[in-house]
Structure formats: structure tokens, C-alpha cells
Amino acid sequence: LAQAILVRGSQIAARHFTRPSTHNLGIMVKTTKFVADPSLQAKMHQYQIVGRAAPTPKNPVPKIYRMRLFAKNKVLAKSRFWYFMKKLNKAKKSGGELLAVNELFDTAPTKVKNYGIWLRYQS
């Protein structure tokens, strides 16, 4: 079984060709099957999460925080939100509430953008 790779737009497709055999008496049989390249699928999604600490008698109207996070799914994005809220604002999941969770999509996916990256390490 031979395989040829064809590039079409933003997807890479694989075309499979069968070689001549004794079963088809030397006639080349061509079968086409397009397979999307999994490396072109989005593994990370961008989410906008809005949340705050829960209202208390001491602070009846807490400050609202919005974060744009990259995560594989919605559950991990919410987890990362509370992780950073705990580190930055001393607000935990048990004493807070989420107001909105939205997935953000690129308006122009072929255009290059610059993103800041937060690196952390232990020395």
C-alpha cells in the first residue's frame, strides 16, 4: 500500500493507492480516502472566565475579575482560573463564584498575533 500526501488549503490529506496484485490481474486500482491531519486540529482553546469572591457582610460587592486563559477544555480553564485567583487575590473556589465562562474564537485565524507567556520555575 503506497501513500501520497496532498496539501489542500489548510488541511493535509492522505491518499492511498493500491499496488497491482495477482487478484486484479495487473490493473491499478485507485482508491481515495481523505484523512484530516490531527496536528492541524486545535489542542488548546482560549477561554474568558469572569468570577469574583462570594459576597459577605464585610464585603457585599466584591471586585469582579476577568481572565483570558488557554486550556484544553472548559473544566481545566475553570480550574486554572481558581488557581490564579488563589495566588493573586486570595480568593478560593469554595469562597467564590463564576459569573461567566466563554470560549473565544479567532476572528482571523490565519493572522499572526503576539501573546505574553507567564513562565514559572523552581530553583
The model's pLDDT over 54-90, given as tens digits with 9 standing for 90+, comes to 999 999 999 999 999 999 999 999 999 999 999 988 8
Q: Single out the residue of 68, 65, 66 nearest to residue 103, CA to CA.
A: 68
Is the Cβ–Cβ distance between 93 and 82 less than 8 Å?
yes
State residue 19's pLDDT score: 52
Q: Which residue has the higher pLDDT, 114 or 38?
A: 114
The model's pLDDT over 14-64, given as tens digits with 9 standing for 90+, comes to 444 445 555 555 555 566 666 777 776 768 899 999 999 999 999 999 999
Is the Cβ–Cβ distance between 91 and 53 less than 8 Å?
yes
Chain centre distance of CA 75: 12
- Rounded alpha-carbon distances, angstroms, from residue 74 to 22, 45, 78, 84, 103: 54, 9, 6, 16, 8
CB atoms closer than 10 angstroms to residue 47: 21
Q: Which residue has the higher pLDDT, 116 or 41?
A: 116
State residue 10's pLDDT score: 42
